[in-house]
């Protein structure tokens, strides 16, 4: 939805500022996350997963059907935006190469800010309450925590950060298509967290990097890249059930224990 918001702002309102996309897109994605979260957090575990995927498929179908709004399978074109309030413009010869180089560091800076914000959230009393609900929801409820409200706020935060990712992804891709609403695209995002280890703060970050490189090399290696990528990822999950960071943490703990003994 973040990608489509950028496309609508560029095509219907003539906005071509990256900061404008973020300032307008974040509140809109937050509102959408709050609405969907209000429905989804009424259920937990597999029912929660099925409901979120079902809603995603509904949006995917709407994006295909309302082609006069969304462009259907052709999508909506997104021109290259200006950065830093118009101080950085990308016109003239070599504009695309300059845009790629500058935009990389722009996204990296936004990513660093988001990591700091998420670190504060995770290590705040609110984050500790979420961890308690994750580990033992019944006990957390007995302690007086309103678990459904906490899950709803967590859904809101997650959706807002994901919306920001969509906003940043759209200008680089240059196109907003229904493919970003399909369940397999959502599955990749979930899988990065599992691959890196969702019980560690740095796990999803490392998982995202590893998954991106695996997918890139798989596509470049063979036309059956989906089969190759699937086999590699399944093997990684079977060998490292706690994720890459979880496995490294366990090895470090064992090494320290041997040193003490």
Domain tally, the chain = 2
Q: Which two tokens stand for residue 70?
A: 């969304």
Neighbouring C-alpha atoms within 13 Å toward the C-beta of 74: 7
Residue position matching structure tokens 């090494």: 255
Alpha-carbon distance 42 to 13, whole Å? 37
How much is the pLDDT for 110?
A: 93
Q: Where is the domain boundary, 165, 181, 197?
A: 181
Q: Where is the domain boundary, 129, 164, 181?
A: 181
Instruction: Give yes or no: residues 220 and 167 share one domain.
Output: no
Instruction: Give yes or no: residues 99 and 126 share one domain.
Output: yes
Instruction: Give yes or no: residues 30 and 108 share one domain.
Output: yes
For the cut 90, the answer to whether the pLDDT of residue 139 exceeds it is no
Q: Are 203 and 243 in contact (CB under 8 A)?
A: yes
Instruction: Give yes or no: residues 187 and 172 share one domain.
Output: no
Mean of all residue pLDDT scores within the chain: 86
Backbone angles phi, psi at 123, to 5 degrees: -95, 10
Helix (H) or strand (E) holding 231: helix 225-239
Instruction: Give yes or no: residues 145 and 204 share one domain.
Output: no
Instruction: Give yes or no: residues 47 and 138 share one domain.
Output: yes
Alpha-carbon distance 81 to 103, whole Å? 10
Backbone angles phi, psi at 82, to 5 degrees: -90, 155
In sequence order, which residues have a C-beta less than 8 Å from that of residue 143 and are 6 or more positions away?
132
Q: Which two tokens stand for residue 248?
A: 């490294």
Burial of 209 (0-12, 13-18, 19+ CB in 10 A): middle
Work out the pLDDT band at 28, boundaries 50, 70, 90: very high
Burial 87-98 (b: 16+ CB within 10 A, else e): eeebeeeeeeeb
Instruction: Give yes or no: residues 90 and 116 share one domain.
Output: yes
Instruction: Give yes or no: residues 94 and 140 share one domain.
Output: yes
Alpha-carbon distance 80 to 96, whole Å? 9
CA angle 116/104/117 to nearest 5° reads 10
**Helix, strand, coil proportions of the chain in percent (round to 5)?**
80, 5, 20
Q: Is the dihedral of CA 179, 184, 187, 188 positive or negative?
A: negative
For the cut 90, the answer to whether the pLDDT of residue 27 exceeds it is yes
Ranking 2-6, 47-51, 56-60, 95-99 by mean pLDDT, the lowest is 95-99
pTM of the model: 0.84
Instruction: Give yes or no: residues 24 and 147 share one domain.
Output: yes
Q: Where is the domain boundary, 122, 147, 181?
A: 181
**Stretch 118-129: mean pLDDT:** 92
For the cut 80, the answer to whether the pLDDT of residue 260 exceeds it is no
Work out the pLDDT band at 189, boundaries 50, 70, 90: confident
Q: Which two tokens stand for residue 221?
A: 């290696």
Instruction: Give yes or no: residues 163 and 248 share one domain.
Output: no
How much is the pLDDT for 92?
A: 67
**Domain, as residue range, for 80:** 1-181
Alpha helices of 41-180 — where are they, by DSSP H? 45-65, 67-70, 95-122, 125-135, 137-142, 147-173
Instruction: Give yes or no: residues 60 and 124 share one domain.
Output: yes
Instruction: Give yes or no: residues 167 and 241 share one domain.
Output: no
Q: Is the dihedral of CA 41, 47, 53, 54 positive or negative?
A: negative
């Amino acid at each position: 939805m973040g990608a489509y918001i950028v496309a609508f702002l560029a095509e219907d309102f003539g906005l071509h500022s990256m900061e404008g996309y973020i300032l307008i897109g974040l509140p809109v994605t937050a509102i959408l996350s709050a609405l969907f979260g209000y429905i989804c957090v009424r259920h937990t575990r597999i029912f929660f997963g099925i409901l979120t995927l079902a809603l995603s498929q509904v949006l995917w179908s709407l994006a295909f059907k309302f082609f006069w709004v969304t462009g259907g399978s052709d999508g909506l074109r997104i021109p290259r935006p200006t950065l830093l309030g118009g101080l950085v413009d990308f016109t003239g010869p070599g504009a695309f190469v300059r845009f790629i180089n500058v935009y990389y560091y722009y996204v990296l800076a936004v990513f660093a800010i988001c990591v700091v914000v998420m670190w504060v959230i995770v290590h705040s009393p609110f984050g500790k309450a979420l961890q308690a609900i994750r580990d033992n929801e019944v006990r957390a409820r007995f302690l007086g925590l309103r678990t459904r409200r906490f899950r709803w706020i967590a859904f809101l935060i997650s959706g807002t950060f994901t919306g920001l990712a969509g906003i940043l992804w759209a200008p680089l891709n240059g196109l907003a298509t229904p493919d970003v609403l399909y369940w397999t695209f959502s599955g990749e995002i979930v899988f990065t967290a599992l691959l890196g280890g969702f019980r560690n703060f740095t796990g999803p970050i490392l998982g995202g990097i590893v998954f991106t490189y695996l997918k890139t090399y798989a596509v470049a290696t063979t036309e059956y890249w989906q089969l190759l990528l699937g086999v590699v990822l399944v093997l990684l999950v079977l060998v490292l059930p706690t994720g890459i960071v979880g496995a490294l943490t366990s090895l470090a703990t064992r090494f320290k224990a041997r040193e003490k003994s």
